Amino acid sequence: MVRRPRPADPLLPVPQATWLVVHDMLRRPLEWRQLAPGADLRAILTHEREERLAAGWDCDEIGRVCSFFFAVRKGVRIQVGIGRYDPAGPGPPGHSDG
C-alpha cells in the first residue's frame, strides 16, 4: 500500500510576520492587519469568521488545507484570508526578480 503525503497545513504558525487581509472580488485589499510571527493563524482566521457571522455575513467554512474563506452580505462578496506579504508593500518576488 502506497501512502500519499498529507497536504501541508497553510495555517501552521510561521516565524515571520503575516497579515489578515480582506479582499474584494477583484482581489483589491480593503483592510488588513499585521500578525505577529508565530501567531496561531488558524485561531485568528476562525475568530475572524465568527466575528463576520455575528455581524450578519454568510461565511464559507475554512477548509483543512485552506488559508481563507469567502463571505457574502447584502450582495457584497469578500475574501478573508492570511497573507504572507504586506498588502501595502511591494508584494511577493516575481520570476524575473534577481
- Measure the CA–CA gap between 88 and 98, rounded to whole angstroms: 21
**0.95 cut: is pTM over it?**
no
Spatial separation of the C-alpha atoms in residues 70 and 53, rounded to whole Å: 11
- Phi first, then psi, for residue 40 (nearest 5°) are -80, 90
Which pLDDT score, from 0 to 100, does residue 69 have? 98
The pLDDT profile of the chain, 98 residues, written as one tens digit per residue, is: 778 777 788 999 999 999 999 999 999 999 999 999 999 999 999 999 999 999 999 999 999 899 999 999 999 999 999 999 999 887 777 766 65
* Residue environment code for 11-23, b if the CB has 16+ CB neighbours within 10 A, otherwise e: beeeeeebbbbbb
Helices (H), the chain: 41-54
